[in-house]
């Protein structure tokens, strides 16, 4: 007894159709797999490039900000050193002038004058350093100016009538 399903009994057209269907399915699976692989690789490469560019951009921005911060700190340090040097020179000059005045005039009241001059110089130095620090902070964006300094207050300019 022979089985019913033998290839001899199947028509050649059915075998050819099944063969074409199998080959077509394999081609579709291969094309879809290769297409997905190509798309995945392209997306991965694009994402890596974009992430790399963003990281490089962020790194450059951080380096620029650090450089600006260092330059501002150096500027503040230089201004502070200049102010201290000027302060020392002024105090030394005041002491010299006081000593010369005491030696020439022979009056002891010049110590009061030197002390007052010293107080004035110290106050000026403190004010200059404060102004420089505030200007550096405002220019650097570390300190926000109050809103009333940007726009005039409306109630100050209202007409009485």
CA 126 vs CA 6, 32, 121, 149: distances in Å: 108, 76, 9, 23
Judge whether 4 lies within some domain. no
60: in domain: yes
Q: Both tokens of residue 160?
A: 């009485």
Whether 92 is in a domain gets the answer yes
Model pTM?
0.36
Show the domain range for 130.
47-149
* 18 assigned to some structural domain: no
In a domain, residue 75? The reply is yes
Confidence tier at 27 by pLDDT (50, 70, 90): confident
Mean pLDDT of 82-94: 73
Q: Is 75 exposed, middle or buried (0-12, 13-18, 19+ CB in 10 A)?
A: middle
The verdict on residue 86 lying in a domain is yes
Average pLDDT over every residue of 112-141:
67
Share of the chain above pLDDT 90, in %: 0
For position 145, what pLDDT does the model report? Answer: 52
For the chain, the average pLDDT equals: 71
Asked whether residue 108 carries a pLDDT value surpassing 70, the answer given is: no
12 lies in a domain? no
Taking only the tens place, the pLDDT of each residue in 37-59 is 888 888 888 888 888 888 888 88
What average pLDDT does the segment 120-124 reach? 68
Q: Per the structure, how many domains does the chain have?
A: 1
Residue 35 lies in a domain: no
More confident residue, 16 or 60: 60
Q: Distance between CA atoms of 103 and 56, rounded to whole angstroms?
A: 69
State mean pLDDT over 121-144. 68
- Of 9-13, 19-23, 50-54, 63-67, the one with minimum mean pLDDT is 9-13
Is residue 30 within 8 A of residue 38, CB to CB? The reply is no
């Amino acid at each position: 007894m022979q089985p019913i399903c033998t290839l001899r009994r199947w028509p050649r057209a059915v075998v050819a159709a099944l063969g074409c269907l199998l080959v077509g399915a394999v081609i579709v699976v291969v094309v879809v797999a290769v297409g997905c692989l190509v798309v995945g690789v392209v997306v991965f490469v694009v994402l890596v490039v974009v992430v790399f560019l963003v990281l490089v951009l962020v790194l450059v921005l951080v380096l620029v900000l650090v450089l600006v911060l260092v330059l501002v700190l150096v500027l503040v340090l230089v201004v502070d050193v200049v102010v201290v040097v000027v302060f020392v020179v002024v105090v030394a000059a005041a002491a010299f002038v006081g000593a010369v005045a005491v030696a020439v005039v022979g009056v002891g009241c010049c110590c009061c004058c030197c002390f007052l001059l010293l107080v004035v110089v110290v106050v000026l130095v403190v004010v200059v350093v404060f102004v420089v620090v505030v200007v550096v902070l405002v220019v650097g964006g570390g300190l926000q100016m109050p809103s009333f300094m940007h726009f005039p207050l409306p109630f100050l300019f209202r007409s009485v009538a």
